[in-house]
Amino acid sequence: AKDMGDALEKVLVTEEQIEARLKELAAEIDADYAGKDLLLVGVLKGAVMVMADLARGLSHAAEMDWMAVSSYGAGTTSSGVVRILKDLEADISGRNVLIVEDVIDSGLTLSWLVGNLRSRGPSSVEVCTMVRKPLAFDVDLDVKYIGFDLPNEFIVGYGLDYAEKYRNLPFIGTLAPQVYER
Ligand code: PRP
Ligand code: MN
Ligand code: MG
């Protein structure tokens, strides 16, 4: 079926919960960066939804830039070796960078990205993610702003995809096993 509803199992985080949590995070970010420069860096493609909604909740006149990265190699699991598909347009030296992500799963993408951006001489690099999964605790990564800690289930929606689909669900949910177990 082409209807997204047929593929879903259950809703884990509703649209209203996402909206409320993003308001709280935006208020924290406004306070933390008051009087300072702020560059939001969204990681394509998953972070598009959270970036759009978080940024609109800020009072701060933050800037936005985007990166696209990809795990190197043919493996299905993240190897930790990352390739830049699209780099930032901004020079981040001396700037306060806040990386915006949809999900931290193994944490390997973000540990690499934080290291890469730190090497460019910014004033600060912090991370904001809508979802963190438990495997992320195994890597040494400081995540300052977290929307929701969720269990290790296959989730989609609000930017998170399965084979490039279901990113446009307005909530976060689990996919029915028959969708990917075939
Ligand atoms: C997903 C997700 C994060 C990353 C998390 O992106 O959006 O960027 O994987 O995985 P990790 O913590 O195990 O490294 P993906 O590479 O699927 O690209 P996408 O954002 O275009 O879906
Ligand atoms: Mn991503
Ligand atoms: Mg993906």
Catalytic residues: 105
Number of Cα atoms under 13 Å in the Cβ half of residue 58: 21
For helices 48-57 and 15-32, the axis angle rounded to 10 degrees is 60
Name the pTM for this structure: 0.94
162 assigned to some structural domain: no
Residues 6+ apart with CB under 8 A from 115: none
Q: Tell me, what CATH number does 38's domain have?
A: 3.40.50.2020
Tell me which residue range forms the domain holding 127. Answer: 15-153
Give the total number of structural domains in the chain: 1
3 assigned to some structural domain: no
8 assigned to some structural domain: no
CA–CA dist 65, 42 (Å, integer): 6
For residue 150, give both structure tokens.
């969720």
Output the CA 19–ligand 1 centroid distance in Å.
22
CA–CA dist 91, 71 (Å, integer): 23
CA–CA dist 71, 172 (Å, integer): 23
pLDDT in tens, 93-104: 999 999 999 999
pLDDT in tens, 144-178: 999 999 999 999 999 999 999 999 999 999 998 88
| The amino acid at 14 | T
Output the CA 53–ligand 1 centroid distance in Å.
19
Output the CA 115–ligand 1 centroid distance in Å.
17
ipTM of the complex: 0.98
Q: Find tokens 């195994």 and name the residue.
A: 138
- Ligand 1 binding pocket includes 143 (Cβ within 6 Å): no
Nearest CA to ligand 1 atom 16: 70
65 assigned to some structural domain: yes
Could you identify the atom of ligand 1 that is nearest to the CA of residue 70?
Answer: 16
- Ligand 1 binding pocket includes 129 (Cβ within 6 Å): no
The band of 72, judged by pLDDT with boundaries at 50, 70 and 90, is low
119 assigned to some structural domain: yes
